[in-house]
Structure formats: C-alpha cells, structure tokens
Amino acid sequence: MEEKKRINQLKTSAPLVRKIGILIHIVVWSIPLSIPFFFTGGNEFIVTPDFFLRTFIVVVSFACVFYCNYLYLIKHFLTNQRVARFILSNLLLMIMVTIAVHLIMQLLPPPDHVPGRPMDEQGIFQLSGFLLRNLFMYSIVVILSVAIRMTASWFEMEGIRKDLEKNRAEAELKNLKSQLNPHFLFNTLNNIYSLIAISPEQAQETIHELSRLLRYVLYESSQTLVSVGKEMDFVRNYIELMRIRLAKNVNLQTEIDLENEDVLIAPLLFITLIENAFKHGISNNKPSFIHIRITQKERELYCLIENSYFPKDRQDKSGSGIGLPNLEKRLSLIYPGMYSFQYGKEENQYRSILTISLPAL
C-alpha cells in the first residue's frame, strides 16, 4: 500500500516538475533578450527593431547549440565515453550554426559603417571577428550545457540510489521483524513449558497473558512507529509474565520513567535485551538478580539492564541466538548514527546499555 502511494505521488508530481523546468528555461533565455532594454534611454542608446532582431538571432543560435548538446550529444557521446566524437560533433555544430547566423545576418540591413575604415577592410575584419567571437561563445555554451546536464544527471542518479537504498533497508527491516516475532514467541513458549511442571493453573493464566502480548506483537508492532507508552506497557506485561516463574532467590527490580508517553519509537527494541536477561541471568539454586531501568527524557531514550550471568550450556536449545545481532542491525537501519549500544560481561554480571537520540518530528 505504501509503495503504491509513493508511486502515485511520483506520477502526480512529475508533470509539475516538468512544467517548472520548462518555465525556468524560458526565463533564463529571456534574460539575454531583455538586457539591451535595461541600457536604453535618452540619446545614449536606443534598441531598434533591427538591433533586437540581430540579438534574437544570436540568442537563438546559442539555444540551438545548448539544446543539441543538452538533449542529444551529451547523452549519446559524452556519457558513453565517446569524447572524440563529442568534440568533433560540437565543432561541426558550431561551424554550421556560425555559417547559418552569418548568412542570415547578410539578409538584414547592414549595420552602421565605421568611419575612417574602407568598407572591404571593415567587412573582412567584422567577418573574422564574428567567426572567432561566436566560436568562443559557443564553446562556453557547450561547457555550460555539459555542466548543467551532468549536474542534473548526478542529482537524478543520487535520487534513484537513495530510493533503492531506502527500499532495500525497508525490505531488510521487514525481514528482521519477521524473524523477531517467532523468536519472541519461541522463548515465551519455553518459559510457559517450564511453568507447566510447577503450576498448571499459573500456566493457564500465563497463556492468557501471552495472548495479550502476541496481540501487540502481531498488530501494534506492525506499525513503523509506536508510542513509547504502549511499548513500555508491553515491556511491563512481559516482565510480569516472566515474574511468575521466578524463584525466591531471584531479585528482580524494574524502573520505567517516561517524561512523555506520546513520543514515537520503533517497536520491539527492548524485548531482546530483556529476554536475554531472563535467559542468562537466572539460577535455580544460586542468588541471582535482574535490574531493568528504562528512562525517556526529551528526545533521549535510555535503557540499562544488568543481570547475574549464568550462561546456558550447548544442550539448551531455548532461543536461536539471533537476538542481539538482529537488534544491532535494526538499530543501524532505523537510527543510523543516532544510537549507542554496548553489551557484554563484566566480572560476574552481564550489562546492556542502549541509548537512542530520537529524531524530532
């Protein structure tokens, strides 16, 4: 649905962009035609129809050279690294346009004669100067057309690259979330399985609590962003679900402090860390602890989880080991350059620290 909406937006905006581009070209080429009128007035200079016609012919010749390059030569020769043909084609184009302009000028009334110089000498001087001046100006026009076309192509390619990168990131993020949901369910079912042997009644109640959690995982977490308040309700429910099976030797402490529950965050960012704490931080016969602290102030979200460390042996198949790599990849896709994530063993305990700088909406 989102992809279809994005395509419709591009289709709607494309004609408008083209119209704006055409308008810009018209305005740009109108500038050299209007310049003489800014200097006319009094007895100094007057724009005559003959002078304006000559100016119009010159501007049209510049436009001809520009658009031959902009629309055809650059695309078919220069971008295909056929530089020699591009240069040769431009030389032929400039010579042809120069000759055409000269012949057209000959059909117009001659300009004022320069006093003190013979007409033949003045004609040769004007012709050679006319040719050299036009070739030089056309060369500048060619350089400008190359610069403008290459810049436009670069922006176009950069836009395509960013769209492809965004689509790839979104597809990868969806794939990671599809891995996360079964992973969460698998770990929770393992906890319920162990609870059945201890208290079947509590196991039934736990299944009811699990249905509430799954409703969030299946529906709320499908959103790109959720409120931090809803996410913390999910975290609290999960912790209470896990608390049922804890032995008396486990010290579980939680602190959740939110300044603004309406702040939006990506869903299911903390469940992996909390799962790991319950998986590796609990011992059935030794004193153990799990301390969870999550705070949100202004645009900063902070999570600190500390637990005793009792690593599982290789025969323990609970979980699949994808949790932390999955979380790190999600963070890099959703909050690039806006998060800090450290985790590891420190002496006889395990610590995870996640800090996220949330973007302003």
pLDDT digits (tens, 9 = 90+) for 222-256: 778 889 999 999 899 888 877 877 788 899 999 99
| CATH code, domain with 291 | 3.30.565.10
Instruction: Single out the residue of 59, 90, 64 nearest to residue 76, CA to CA.
Output: 90
Looking at the domain assignment, is residue 193 inside a domain? no
- Say if residue 7's pLDDT is above 60: no
Instruction: Please check whether residues 205 and 351 belong to one and the same domain.
Output: yes
Instruction: Please check whether residues 139 and 264 belong to one and the same domain.
Output: no
Give the best-scoring range by mean pLDDT among 15-29, 265-279, 291-305.
Answer: 291-305
Give the best-scoring range by mean pLDDT among 50-64, 175-189, 292-306.
Answer: 292-306
Looking at the domain assignment, is residue 180 inside a domain? no
Instruction: Please check whether residues 203 and 146 belong to one and the same domain.
Output: no
Q: How many CB atoms lie within 10 A of CB 37?
A: 10
Instruction: Please check whether residues 207 and 103 belong to one and the same domain.
Output: no
Instruction: Please check whether residues 206 and 337 belong to one and the same domain.
Output: yes
Instruction: Please check whether residues 226 and 119 belong to one and the same domain.
Output: no
- Cα separation, 329 vs 173, in Å, equals 8
Looking at the domain assignment, is residue 181 inside a domain? no
Please count the structural domains in the chain: 2
With contact defined as beta carbons under 8 Å apart, do 65 and 142 qualify?
A: yes
- Say if residue 116's pLDDT is above 60: no
pLDDT band at 168 (very low <50, low <70, confident <90, very high): low
pLDDT digits (tens, 9 = 90+) for 298-310: 889 999 999 998 8
Instruction: Please check whether residues 45 and 120 belong to one and the same domain.
Output: yes
- The string of DSSP codes covering 174-243 is HHHHHHHHHHHHHHHHHHHHHHHHH-HHHHHHHHHHHHHHHHHHHTGGGSS-EEHHHHHHHHHHHHHHHH
With contact defined as beta carbons under 8 Å apart, do 219 and 266 qualify?
A: no
Instruction: Please check whether residues 349 and 241 belong to one and the same domain.
Output: yes
Verdict on whether the full-model pTM lies above 0.75: no
Burial 72-88 (b: 16+ CB within 10 A, else e): ebbeebbeeeeeeebee
| 3-class secondary structure, 300 | strand
First-last CA distance in the chain: 23
The pLDDT of residue 167 is 66
| Domain housing 24 | 2-164
Instruction: Please check whether residues 147 and 18 belong to one and the same domain.
Output: yes
The pLDDT of residue 332 is 85
Instruction: Please check whether residues 70 and 21 belong to one and the same domain.
Output: yes
The pLDDT of residue 121 is 47
Helices (H), 281-322: none
